[in-house]
Amino acid sequence: MKTITSLLFLLMLLLGSKTNACTSYLVTKGASVDGSNMISYAGDSHIRYGQLYFHPRAQWPDGSMQTIFDRSSNKPLGQIPYPAETYQVIGFMNEHQVSIGESTFGGRKELRDTTGIIDWGSIMFLGLQRAKTAREAIKVMVELVDEFGYFSSGESYSIADANEVWILELISKGMDLKTDRKTKKLYNANKGAVWVARRIPDGYISAHANQARITTFPKADGVKSISSAHLDQIFNPEIEVVYAHDVISFAKQKGYYKGNGSNFSFSDAYAPLDFGAARFCELRVWAMFDQVNDDMKQYWDYATGKTKEPRMPLWVKPNRKLKPRDLMAFFGNHLQGTELDISKDAGAGQQGLPYRWRPLTWQYEGKTYFNERTTATQQTAFSWVAQMRDWLPNAIGGIFWYGLDDANLSLHVPFYTGMTHVPHSHAEGNGDILTYSETSAFWAFQRVSHFVYLFYDRAIEDIRLKQKEYGDKFEASIPAIDVAAKMLYDKNPELAAEFLTTFSHSAASNVVDDWKKLSNFLLVKYLDGNVKHEKGGKFIDNGWDYPIDPGHPNYSDQWKKIIIEDTEDKLLMPEIN
């Protein structure tokens, strides 16, 4: 019986593990150092290739059709009409400083709609190409889903512009196939999705990591909350909550909820919390909140899957103002400072490695075990921080900080949303996940990361030095670039775009070149597990161009204890008289 229970538990975790893929942070202008809105996204996938997407602004003749491809498989799902105009998009930010990120929460598997055309990935780019504000992006996204159906499972979306930050959670309504009397074709009577969108209050921060986070919410009161029956009112700045008109009635119909609606919780109805949702997902949100809020200890048992109450809030007020570098640093969390720090147990090996290779769950002697799913993870293809600033023209105000590979070991380059094209090192088509390219930024970062994994406790210091060096450099130079770009913009916006393109490309080129040099430096420094002596990146010789003996770092007492417990007295040096 225990074996059967363990297998069922393992199956549950494995089914859920497909959704444990991304971590996103949301920061409002009142919670940031300079008054900018920020959202972030770590694209965690074992098959995703890191490249900086670029869609130029375009005009479309009447009747033009856009093919929608499923982002998870590249399968064509169908076609929808183009609007008259689509906006320029760099990465996940458009020319109007609208940015969108996501994390998959999966939810009730019976609600998957395989007849839909709009999938979890295309919906982001459709919103970016068709919206000038966060509110308009929400309207575009939910209307497209209602019209063409939603192909994917449950998703949480971060949606922001220079003025507001929103979270949107939606899930399809499954399939109720019927035959059209006239065409005799099957159609889905449940086409569309149920959803809720909430504006994050200014001065607060939020986060989501593969578990639906919207619980109860204010119902339509005609002042701050509206249903989709009045979706055109979303542009009223006083509206802070928008939801599908049938989000409650559909849950009742499916038996997910019983009540009068006053205590209705979107998450509890459509993505009920289980151990995996807490430990693999909500714990990542807790880890970020805990770094900037003093009241998070009360949610430890909830986040670690021991209890379901008290439920962690959707947003918290930070105890300090945040900047882009803070969000980048949050991506490096491996539960350090807690009892679950994965650099401290036997799985970390002799180098204190805060990573665990897949599978996420495993069995031993009929029992199921798991590895912690931390924010810092090796399979991140790319990560970014979108920074939106309302005091500057859109072309200058939007900065898309983009990093490749493992976010903990990456370096985020500032790309202005006003630039005209992306550098070749980051461009689509320059290599792929199955094809190495010597000029690809993605592969340059992969080389360094894989070396760091071999000697983490030593090489991480070299990475941190480089991250600080460039972080300081970018932080100091961005204000000057802003001023120069604004002066040019006031005289000639095209010259400003050229200037911003040159700066962004130069920054990318310098980082990629330096990361390639770093790869060579690490190889020389840590050859054969030794540590060569160096100062300021220059190796030290004996004064006659001859190497001196390298250092041999000792093992930690923790690792020694593990070895001794495993080998008992086999390695004990005998005392010989």
518's torsion region: left (phi>0), alpha (psi -120 to 50) or beta? alpha
Asked if residue 420 has pLDDT above 50, the reply is yes
Helix crossing, 456-491 with 493-525: angle to 10°? 170
Note the pLDDT tens digit of each residue in 544-557: 999 999 999 888 89
Note the pLDDT tens digit of each residue in 374-408: 999 999 999 999 999 999 999 999 999 999 999 99
Q: What percent of the chain has pLDDT over 90?
A: 92
The predicted structure's pLDDT at residue 91: 98
- Strands 361-364 and 315-316 turn out to be unpaired
Helix crossing, 493-525 with 441-454: angle to 10°? 30
pLDDT band, very low/low/confident/very high, at 234 (cuts 50, 70, 90)? very high
Which amino acid does the sequence have at 212? A
Tell me if 89 sits within 8 A of 53, measured CB to CB.
yes
Encoded tokens for 299: 């949610």
pLDDT band, very low/low/confident/very high, at 221 (cuts 50, 70, 90)? confident
The predicted structure's pLDDT at residue 513: 98
Count of CA atoms in the C-beta half-sphere (13 A) of 433: 12
The predicted structure's pLDDT at residue 223: 73
pLDDT band, very low/low/confident/very high, at 20 (cuts 50, 70, 90)? low
Which amino acid does the sequence have at 165? V
Compute the mean pLDDT over every residue in the chain, rounded to the nearest whole number.
94
- Strands 241-243 and 225-227 turn out to be parallel
Q: Phi, psi at residue 294, to the nearest 5°?
A: -90, 0
Asked if residue 293 has pLDDT above 60, the reply is yes
Task: Please tell me the distance from the alpha carbon of residue 329 to that of residue 370, in angstroms, as a whole number.
Answer: 25
Note the pLDDT tens digit of each residue in 318-350: 999 999 999 999 999 999 999 999 999 999 999
Please give the average per-residue pLDDT across 340-364, as a whole number: 95
pLDDT band, very low/low/confident/very high, at 181 (cuts 50, 70, 90)? confident
The predicted structure's pLDDT at residue 222: 66
Task: Please tell me the distance from the alpha carbon of residue 407 to that of residue 409, in angstroms, as a whole number.
Answer: 5
Task: Please tell me the distance from the alpha carbon of residue 480 to that of residue 499, in angstroms, as a whole number.
Answer: 12
| Least trusted range by pLDDT, from 327-336, 511-520, 534-543 | 534-543
Distance of CA 8 to the CA centre of its chain: 29
DSSP 574: P
Please give the average per-residue pLDDT across 490-498, as a whole number: 98
Distance of CA 96 to the CA centre of its chain: 21
Tell me if 314 sits within 8 A of 198, measured CB to CB.
yes
Asked if residue 303 has pLDDT above 90, the reply is yes
Asked if residue 255 has pLDDT above 70, the reply is yes
Tokens 């070749």 identify what position?
424
Note the pLDDT tens digit of each residue in 98-130: 999 999 999 999 999 999 999 999 999 999 999
The predicted structure's pLDDT at residue 4: 40
Please give the average per-residue pLDDT across 239-247, as a whole number: 97
Asked if residue 12 has pLDDT above 80, the reply is no
Q: Phi, psi at residue 202, to the nearest 5°?
A: -60, 140
Task: Please tell me the distance from the alpha carbon of residue 122 to that of residue 493, in angstroms, as a whole number.
Answer: 30
Residue 437: other Cβ atoms inside 10 A: 15
Encoded tokens for 176: 């109720």
Asked if residue 172 has pLDDT above 80, the reply is yes
Strand order in the sheet with 154-160: 54-55, 89-90, 93-94, 99-106, 154-160, 165-172, 193-199, 241-243, 225-227
Please give the average per-residue pLDDT across 295-317, as a whole number: 97
